[in-house]
Amino acid sequence: MSLLVIAALLYLGLALGFILVVDNLVGLVFRDPRAPVQLVSVYIGRAFAASQKLYRK
């Protein structure tokens, strides 16, 4: 029974991983030309600034 649960969880994990990979590939090919391209570091900087602002309050 536990083997069946482990197999089901692995299957779900692989399926979700496959969906994320395909979604990212489609996002690379079909980009929205109106949306500006931003690097991940911009998001990290914004999150850090917001957390510092909340910490000071």
- pTM, whole model, 2 decimals? 0.49
- Domain span at residue 18? 2-56
**Coil, helix or strand at residue 33:** coil
Taking the C-alpha atoms of residue 6 and residue 54, their distance in angstroms, rounded to an integer, is 41
Q: Which residues contact 42 (CB under 8 A, 6 or more apart)?
A: none
What's the pLDDT tens digit per position in 2-11? 999 999 999 9
DSSP state of 36: P
Work out how many domains the chain is built from and give that number. Answer: 1
What's the pLDDT tens digit per position in 12-49? 999 999 999 999 888 888 877 776 665 666 677 777 77
